């Protein structure tokens, strides 16, 4: 028998990290487009300054997020699994348009379905590192040593720029798909509301209703 439960899924830091990361990525995209002369809002010099500032803020946020994932075992949410992976893909392609039941159940211990695990793991282990590493290489391509001499990394800036732009477009694509996928929840806005409040109305089998009780004491 199916029942709808209001479950505390997203913790305080998780919500802060999610929205701050989203805001920084969007701001970096805007200033990045201006640096490439695609749009004109702040002016080139200020766009570069704002871009660098936001990049440093994002790196600091990522460092805190890594610590949080390790300290509270949240990294386990991203462990890939083939269980119900095919069913999940079929659901997104056809099932949800036919009103079929979601193939996986969400709770505080299993926030991501099998497909989300793969996508978010790729986001964390490939997309973000490509952008961050290429950005740092570009930012610190030329430094001044103790003798006041300009030292170059020796890597062609054109190559670094290509990788940075490639990674940036991957992030933008991920963001667009991510926003769309938020509409596939219990209602069109339930996933977004949950990321503000921490609570989500989830349809579950009666035997797993204990999930909401297990998480009330762990709202970090």
Reported as a single tens digit per residue, the pLDDT across 42-88 is 999 999 999 999 999 999 999 999 999 999 999 999 999 999 999 99
Residue 112 has pLDDT above 50, yes or no: yes
Q: Under a CB-based contact definition with an 8 Å cutoff, are residues 64 and 17 in contact?
A: yes
Q: Under a CB-based contact definition with an 8 Å cutoff, are residues 47 and 31 in contact?
A: yes
In order of their start, the domains of the chain are 2-215 (1.20.950.20)
Q: Where are the alpha helices (DSSP H) in the chain?
A: 12-35, 44-71, 85-93, 114-122, 128-139, 157-181, 190-197, 211-215
Reported as a single tens digit per residue, the pLDDT across 142-153 is 655 555 554 455
Task: Say how far residue 164 (Cα) sits from the centre of its chain.
Answer: 17
Residue 201: per-residue pLDDT: 79
Q: Which long-range contacts (CB under 8 A, 24 or more apart) does 56-60 make?
A: 57/24, 58/21, 58/24, 58/25, 58/28, 58/132, 59/132, 59/136
Q: Which residues pair with 6 in a beta bridge?
A: 201
Name the strand (E) or helix (H) holding 205: strand 199-205
Cβ-based neighbour number of residue 202 at 10 Å:
23
* Distance between CA atoms of residues 95 and 91, nearest Å: 4
Q: What is the mean pLDDT of residues 2-31?
A: 91
Q: What is the mean pLDDT of residues 208-213?
A: 47
Cα 204 to Cα 78, 107, 140, 167, distances in angstroms: 21, 9, 51, 37
- Spell out the residues 6+ positions from residue 88 whose beta carbon is closer than 8 angstroms to its own: 103, 104, 113, 114, 115
| Residue 23: both structure tokens together | 């805001």
Reported as a single tens digit per residue, the pLDDT across 136-175 is 988 887 655 555 554 455 678 888 899 999 999 999 999 9
- Spell out the residues 6+ positions from residue 154 whose beta carbon is closer than 8 angstroms to its own: none
Residue 207 has pLDDT above 50, yes or no: no
């Amino acid at each position: 028998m199916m029942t709808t439960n209001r479950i505390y899924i997203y913790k305080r830091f998780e919500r802060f990290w999610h929205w701050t990361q989203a805001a920084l990525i969007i701001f970096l995209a805007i200033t990045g487009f201006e640096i490439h002369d695609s749009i004109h809002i702040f002016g080139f010099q200020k766009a570069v300054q704002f871009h660098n500032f936001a990049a440093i803020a994002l790196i600091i946020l990522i460092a805190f997020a890594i610590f949080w994932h390790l300290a509270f075992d949240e990294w386990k949410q991203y462990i890939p699994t083939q269980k119900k992976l095919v069913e999940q893909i079929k659901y997104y392609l056809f099932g949800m348009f036919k009103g079929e039941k979601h193939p996986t159940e969400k709770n505080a211990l299993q926030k991501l379905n099998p497909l989300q695990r793969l996508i978010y793991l790729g986001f964390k282990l490939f997309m973000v590192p490509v952008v961050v590493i290429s950005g740092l290489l570009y930012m610190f391509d030329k430094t001044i040593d103790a003798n006041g001499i300009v030292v170059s990394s020796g890597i062609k800036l054109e190559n670094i720029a290509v990788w940075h732009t490639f990674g940036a477009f991957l992030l933008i694509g991920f963001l667009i798909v991510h926003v769309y996928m938020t509409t596939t929840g219990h209602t069109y806005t339930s996933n977004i509301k949950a990321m503000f409040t921490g609570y989500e109305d989830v349809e579950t089998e009666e035997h797993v209703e204990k999930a909401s009780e297990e998480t009330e004491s762990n709202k970090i």
